[in-house]
Amino acid sequence: MLEAFIEEHRARIVTSLQELLRIPSVEGAYVPGQPFGPEVAQALKYVLQLASEHGFPVANVDGYAGHVEFGQGDDYVAVLSHLDVVPAGSNWSHPPFAAEVHDGKIYARGAIDDKGPALSTLWALIGLKSLGYTPKRKIRLIFGLDEESGWKCVEHYFSQQPLPLGGFTPDADFPLIHAEKGVATIRMEVPADVQSMNPKVLSFDGGQRSNMVPDLASAIVDCHSETAAIEWEQKLHKEARARDWNVHINVTGAHIEIIAYGTSAHGSTPDAGVNAIIRLASLLSTQSISNASMWRAISLIDTKGKALGVESADDVTGNLTSNVGRAYLDGENYVFLVNIRYPIDQTGDGLLQRVRQTLSDKWTIQLSSDKAPLFVPLDHPVVRVLSRVYEETTGQPAIPLAIGGATYARAIPNAVAFGALLPNQPDLAHQADENWAIDDYLRCIEIYAHAMLELANTL
């Protein structure tokens, strides 16, 4: 019956996702009643209005999050997703907020992370209601608005609302995720050691978020004369060509501007991208342009955390990863934001102490944020129910996974990440040309409808 419902409403299901994806819901400046900016608020308004049109009770909790309910009773099972997205970045083949369809895929920032999966859960609920299903316990879809930044959305939401019995978040991979690495962001600051005799770095700026591999970094260098600037521009171009790096260099008087391009990726998989910050710093260092402290700092940030003294692994989640997602010159100091995904047997405070022991006293090192790891045993009821649903709806074995990403499963008890990325599909979250196949979107609606109903009838 669900398949027939999905096919009957296919056109509206697809256009509704395009409409949602066209809202550029990147976190913006605080506005009263819209703590994450008007565009993020617009995304929530769209989803709640769509739910209201289909007869569901909805709530906007002070602009921090919202929910849609189906069923009766005080206890409920929850599905947590988010409507905010990371910045689009560069190097897209199709406009990141146009939601164009090419070869059966919708291209847009948020297509797979996490607007597409969020809307698939709403259409799953619409399908259950339309077909006359009655869950034993209430089902609540919760839509967060600050998942990509600080999770203030769910913190505020659950300060006002009761916790669920359990649930899932459609913000990772199928079959399901039973373990997630801890996520620490470490702020590292070191004096710039400016040397006036050499070409002087006036500005350095790279990246947008610590949880993204940066695809662009820029610097402005004072070469003290136009003649010297032209000479340095030629040297840098020669070096960039030798390394086959995508770099643009402009000369304005005695100054040169260098822009280095990389390849964006999710901060939990730094080796999947090309870090523009490291590329730019490396290029400057080859010509002795970079301040020594900047290059020493960059050289300390490998993707395994070895140089920071935190390299480690466990049997469940694998190797620690490290990503310098943001770097800039702030007055007389370089500042680096390093995103570290650490195994489940460690803590953020422990990482901080090890980094401090590794680096010299010149450094100011702080733990900006930390999310503890998540581990749900394989025999947990939620794992058993969702594994069974996945196997019954797809015909494929459900072998639970561990990831470096952080999901809303940490925000509530008895929860895991469940999809929405199907096996053998590329993970383009936080990358250029993020997209989601329409057929996968429709398939997830069916999977999530069964999953929500089974959890509501079992927990």
| Catalytic machinery residues | 84, 147
Two tokens, residue 284? 């400057």
Two tokens, residue 250? 């402009």
Q: Are 123 and 5 contacting, i.e. CB atoms less than 8 angstroms apart? A: no
Q: Are 140 and 71 contacting, i.e. CB atoms less than 8 angstroms apart? A: no
- Show the DSSP H helices in 217-313 as ranges: 226-243, 276-286, 292-299
Q: How many CB atoms lie within 10 A of CB 93?
A: 11
Query: Residue 214 carries which DSSP code?
Result: -
Which of 325, 305, 108, 321 has the alpha carbon at shortest distance from 213?
A: 325
User: Phi and psi dihedrals of 283, rounded to 5?
Assistant: -60, -45
Quote the Cα angle for 319-168-429, to 5°: 55
Quote the Cα angle for 107-21-171, to 5°: 85
Distance between CA 368 and CA 102 in Å, rounded? Answer: 40
Q: Give the pairing of strands 182-191 and 333-342.
A: antiparallel
Q: Are 335 and 187 contacting, i.e. CB atoms less than 8 angstroms apart? A: yes
Q: Are 350 and 340 contacting, i.e. CB atoms less than 8 angstroms apart? A: no
Beta bridge partners of 4: none
For 426, the enclosing helix (H) or strand (E) is none
Contacts of 200 (CB under 8 A, 6+ apart): 194, 221, 222, 224
Contacts of 397 (CB under 8 A, 6+ apart): 175, 391
User: Phi and psi dihedrals of 21, rounded to 5?
Assistant: -70, -20
